[in-house]
Chains A and B, each alone.
Chain A
Amino acid sequence: MDTIELAEEITKIAATQTINITGSEAVLKALIAEGVKTIFGYPGGAIMPIYDALYDYENELEHILVRHEQGAIHAAQGFARTSGKVGVVFATSGPGATNLVTGLADAQIDSTPLVCITGQVFAHLLGTDAFQETDVINITTPVTKWNYQVTDATEIPAALAKAFYIAGSGRPGPVVIDITKNAQIQKFDYEGYTPCNHIRSYRPKPIIRKEYIEEAARLINSAERPFVIFGQGVILGRAEKEFKTFIEKGGLPAAWTILGLSALETAHPLNVGMLGMHGNYGPNVLTNECDVLIAVGMRFDDRVTGRLDKYAKQAKVVHLDIDPAEIDKNVKATVPVWGDCKETLPLLTELIEKKDHTAWLRKFAEATEKENEAVIFDELHPTKDEMSMGEVINVLNELTKGDAVIVTDVGQHQMVACRYAKFVQSKSNVTSGGLGTMGFALPAAIGAKYGAPDRTVVAIIGDGGFQMTLQELGTIMQYGAAVKIIILNNRFLGMVRQWQELFNERRYSFVDIQSPDFVMLAKAYGIAGQSINERKDLKAALTEMIEHDGSYLLEVMVGKENNVFPMVPQGCGVGEIRLR
């Protein structure tokens, strides 16, 4: 026997040798094999065996004990968004699992890769209304990319391998693995962990068809007013470079959805701004003037398109997406380009001609000028005594130079932050886009910090949304996550108030929300902070927040009844965007 044969023989023998371990240990071994280092979770009866096993894995796996399972899953989302890795969550059965549902729905609609492991009652108790039994699989089916219940320990390695593969590949999404308690305790012959890279019924990426690339290139080359709109697909596909090369060669103006934000640096000359309801004036209006609309990794959400029958009717549409179900779903594609944009963009770049479209770009510049005069200048440099949300973001930009991760909650502050925050690198904007989940930002920021430990993470939150998950201050306290928190306090549920003002004749129905003393609250958790009311203190306060060693809470009192403009009112076309 030569040495190679010998080595092969040894590997073979090793492969057939098994060790006797519990299902719980198999779970942890799977996580380690998948390169997981951080878990966000909360224990309880039905997941106790896994937590018991975790006790011995302290050196390999860091577990962050949150204060509510919703916090765990949003943290895992934040982690996934800044790290590009799969976020991992542990929760117990019953209420633990149901507390994950909002986060699952959020991750599903925003394509965030998660593996959530829930404990479940003993298999023999399934269907008996046992203590803390809920039908987790059926509750989570509509909000997961895949879910699976494990009732036997031997299934664990393969189930988790599939879970990680499905969560992270193709169009990513959340996966739930529900493991009955008997399977967690059960000992079995463990044969090692084999990652999954193929499931016969699952095609993460559609095959690229050259004829479509060619047709798309022909359309783009013949266009006089081409317009690129991009979404998170560019980030999820890790195709930022390919995307930039593409638009630079074609001289193509490009606007983003809020999930695509930061894929292209905000200062790039071809970055013409934000799409959608509170997006920039130019990208909205010119959507209805372009002749070829090139959508890259975005799904034509109604907040982006406004009324569909008034959306880009004049344009030929090229749609690049990894998910065939997105093609034609809302907007009919003239040329569908199925595939991973990391692969399709370079093919397309190769075939397009080098151009600069100066006159067309000037139209965007003119629109920006108009929006500057009507909205932006006043928002960033208000003359009123009251501070505006925009000026806070503006000063923050100055201090961070656009290098921070910005995590936003949902409401006016979210729209203002997305509109005005500057970004120099990708994976820097974390927000709940599709679901619009208030309470997302604080826990997501904690996760974002774990996902990007060397970066400054700033959470921008409304006074309303902060009160939805403020219990996670406890998590920050316990683990010292250096999250910078800005509460933009307008003493209203601002976004709803704005709609009531504009569309319900100022009938302010239950939007007047009171808040505790946020600074004292932070102090109770050992978190430093201050509240400011005057412009003169803004820069110093933001500087102190950023420079402070550790987490910091800064409350900024802003105008009570400021509105976010421009706005495409619901039921209107993008061309009907209002500047005031």
Chain B
Amino acid sequence: MKQEYTVTVYTENQIGLLNRIAIIFSRRKINIESLNTSPSEIDSVHRFTIVINETEEVVRKLCRQIEKQVEVLKAYYNTNEEIVWQELALYKVPTDVIAEKVKVERLLRQYGARAVVIRHDYTVFETSGHREEIEALIKALEPYSLIEFVRSARVAIIKASHGFHSKLKEFERGEPGEEVVENEFLNQQEGVFSM
């Protein structure tokens, strides 16, 4: 069954790596719904957050292909239940319209938004949250001549993760230990060995 997966990739910070990762998806004609690149909890390590809509089998294989890239340290995939995630959005509306017609205060409270810029000609609201919340505010602002809207890529934190510090130490050793060579079959003895 296809569903939303968030792929988290820890990498070296290297020019060209974004392309190397992106073509793993495009080659298989898989649409990237959202892509974020960012620093990670570790200075030299970069973090990609990629959202796709696929079956688990496809996502698992994609992660293997991603991990195969020389400059990739590790790739994880998670369902939405396994992560805490947010997207951020900006909305620009004409100040006069909004001041005249809307109970702005209520609107902001209701959607957890705040005004980041208020000028005489326009106002920019910001909100962050899940997709539905962001879209609900578009709906609410649409009648008031929404001038511009933009939504950011998803950022996500894996609930079960203990971070990457200890893993990185393993990677830095000449002979990495089991920590980094997780074998997902291992915890499924029964399922795998169906003799």
Contacts and interface: CB of A to CB of B under 8 A. Distances in A.
Contacts of B186: 209, 211
Contact of A325 (B20, B23, B64, B183): B64
Interface string A180-201: 0000000000000000011111
Given A201-B73, A207-B181, A147 B16 contact: yes
A331 to B, nearest CB: 13
Given A201-B71, A316-B195, A324-B64, A338 B11 contact: no
B162 interface: no
A335 B19 contact: no
A20 interface: no
Contact of B172 (A197, A200, A336): A200
B180 interface: yes
A312 to B, nearest CB: 15
A142 B68 CA distance: 13
B120 interface: no
A142 B22 CA distance: 10
Contact of A329 (B15, B19, B27, B61): B61
B174 interface: yes
B27 A141 contact: no
A53 interface: no
B183 A338 contact: yes
A141 B195 contact: no
A564 to B, nearest CB: 31
A215 interface: yes
Pick from A207, A218, A334 the residue with the most CB of B within 10 Å: A207
A219 B70 contact: no
Contacts of B71: 201-202
B16 A201 contact: no
B65 A325 contact: yes
B70 A145 contact: yes
Given A206-B181, A325-B65, A201 B19 contact: no
Interface string A330-346: 00001110100000000
Q: Interface extent on A, as a size class? A: 35 or more
B16 A219 contact: no
B121 interface: no
Contact of B16 (A137, A206, A222, A316): A137
B144 interface: no
B85 interface: no
Interface string B45-64: 00000000000000011001
B176 interface: yes
Nearest to B14: A148
Given A138-B19, A207-B181, A325-B65, A199 B195 contact: no
A336 B64 CA distance: 14
Contacts of B60: 328
B67 to A, nearest CB: 7
A207 B178 contact: yes
Interface in B137-189: 168, 171-172, 174, 176-178, 180-181, 183, 185-186
Contact of B70 (A138, A146, A149, A197): A146
Interface string A137-167: 1100110011111000000000000000010
B147 to A, nearest CB: 34
A276 B53 CA distance: 34
Contacts of A142: 23, 27
A225 to B, nearest CB: 15
B183 A209 contact: yes
Interface in A201-260: 201-203, 206-207, 209, 211-212, 215, 218-219, 222
Interface of A: 137-138, 141-142, 145-149, 166, 197-203, 206-207, 209, 211-212, 215, 218-219, 222, 316, 323-325, 327-329, 334-336, 338
15 contacts: A138-B19, A141-B19, A199-B70, A201-B73, A203-B180, A207-B176, A207-B181, A211-B186, A324-B67, A325-B64, A325-B65, A325-B67, A327-B64, A328-B60, A334-B193
